[in-house]
């Protein structure tokens, strides 16, 4: 399933994400030479409708056309079939950011492909890893790490002084690569948003120029820790601005992202008699909705102070993944 190449095909630097499947034929790992080794690993299009990563890499490689990269680059171009359709993932496909070593998903061709990518990078060596994503909801740009060691935080701080530390969900790319080298996932706002590709390109270019990552932690980052993933059960209908559903989500829900909310903040209104509600998975994989939400009349409200991230008004994203995450400040010592 995995294609491997040491050169880019003609037209790669200007082709849109929708043309990647026709150009590459499937998920592809490129090894591009540079002045230093081991290579920087960058993954793009793990979700087919999140195009900023591809656009950022195209910018960087166009700038170095005819010149040697300051460091080798291992570039993984992921779910090109979904990218052709402008979708996060296609029906029947696993999520390409849940298939990496450590996943609990069933064995599939995609899972074996991800394991092969990691094995190749372990054998070759990896300087650092950057996984580039977009959000569906309204969010600032921020970096995510799975380890709180200084090199990981410095890599994230090259992109944003706002850092999210998470240990779930399992099977994500950054968690697999964090066992090889400093790794970060960067969230670049919504696809096509002004400045997103430029910002991600600056990060990739900066990382290519690094000789090493410092072993002393940055002092100017704010770290948040995800403590719960909010989901809506499959048998529960939901929507925004509608009364014919089990859960009517608050119209301005995604504008709550990265705001510290007080206890009692409303999230949804329940259709009388439906018994609908959220599920919340905590960091131990346990159901913990009662720890985070309570029902008052027909409203579901936040039980304790928390900061949400990735809340979205996109029904497909909610159905395929999560409604959003809840976070708390994480003090660094």
User: Which residues of the chain form CATH 3.40.630.10?
Assistant: 3-220
The residue-averaged pLDDT of 12-28 equals 98
User: Which element (helix H / strand E) includes 316?
Assistant: helix 315-320
| Lowest mean per-residue pLDDT among 187-191, 198-202, 219-223 | 219-223
pLDDT of residue 242: 87
pLDDT of residue 330: 93
Check pLDDT > 90 for residue 236.
Answer: yes
Judge whether 59 and 201 are in contact, CB under 8 Å: yes
Q: For the chain, what percent of residues have pLDDT higher than 70?
A: 100
Prediction pTM value: 0.95
Helix (H) and strand (E) counts in the chain: 9, 17
Q: Which of 219, 224, 221, 228 is nearest to 164 (CA)?
A: 224
The pair of structure tokens assigned to 80 is 């090109």
pLDDT of residue 229: 97
pLDDT of residue 218: 86
Instruction: Report DSSP letters for 54-96, one per residue.
Output: HHHHHHHHHHTTTS-BSS-EEEEE--HHHHHHT-SS-TTPPPT
Judge whether 184 and 153 are in contact, CB under 8 Å: no
Check pLDDT > 80 for residue 210.
Answer: yes
pLDDT tens column, 288-323: 999 999 999 999 999 999 999 999 988 989 998 999
The residue-averaged pLDDT of 16-20 equals 98
The residue-averaged pLDDT of 163-171 equals 96
pLDDT of residue 216: 84
pLDDT tens column, 239-293: 998 889 999 999 989 999 999 999 999 999 999 988 899 999 999 999 999 999 9
- What are 329's strand-pairing partners? 224
pLDDT of residue 219: 81
Check pLDDT > 80 for residue 333.
Answer: no
For domain 3-220, the CATH architecture is 3-Layer(aba) Sandwich (3.40)
pLDDT of residue 137: 86
């Amino acid at each position: 399933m995995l294609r491997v190449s040491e050169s880019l095909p003609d037209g790669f630097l200007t082709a849109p994400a929708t043309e990647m499947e026709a150009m590459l034929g499937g998920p592809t790992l490129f090894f591009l030479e540079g002045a230093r080794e081991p290579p920087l690993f960058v993954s793009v299009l793990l979700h087919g409708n999140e195009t900023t990563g591809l656009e950022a890499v195209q910018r960087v490689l166009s700038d170095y056309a005819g010149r040697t990269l300051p460091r080798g680059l291992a570039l993984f171009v992921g779910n090109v079939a979904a990218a052709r359709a402008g979708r996060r993932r296609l029906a029947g496909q696993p999520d390409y950011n849940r298939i990496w070593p450590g996943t609990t998903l069933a064995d599939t061709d995609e899972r074996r492909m991800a394991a092969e990518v990691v094995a190749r990078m372990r054998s070759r060596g990896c300087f650092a890893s950057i996984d580039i994503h977009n959000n569906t909801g309204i969010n600032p740009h921020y970096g995510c790490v799975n380890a709180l060691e200084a090199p990981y935080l410095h890599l994230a701080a090259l992109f944003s002084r706002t850092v999210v530390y998470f240990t779930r969900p399992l099977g994500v790319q950054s968690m697999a690569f964090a066992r090889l080298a400093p790794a970060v996932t960067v969230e670049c706002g919504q696809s096509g948003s002004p400045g997103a590709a430029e910002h991600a390109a600056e990060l990739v270019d900066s990382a290519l120029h690094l000789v090493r990552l410092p072993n002393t932690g940055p002092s100017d980052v704010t770290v948040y820790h995800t403590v719960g993933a909010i989901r809506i059960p499959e048998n529960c209908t939901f929507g925004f601005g509608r009364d014919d559903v089990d859960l009517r989500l608050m119209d301005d829900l995604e504008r709550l992202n990265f705001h510290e909310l007080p206890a009692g903040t409303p999230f949804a209104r329940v259709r009388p008699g439906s018994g609908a509600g959220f599920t919340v998975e905590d960091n131990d994989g346990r159901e913990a909705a009662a720890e985070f939400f309570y029902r008052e009349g027909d409203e579901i409200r936040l039980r304790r102070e928390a900061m949400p991230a990735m809340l979205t008004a996109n029904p497909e994203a909610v159905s395929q993944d999560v409604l959003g995450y809840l976070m708390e400040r994480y003090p660094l010592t």
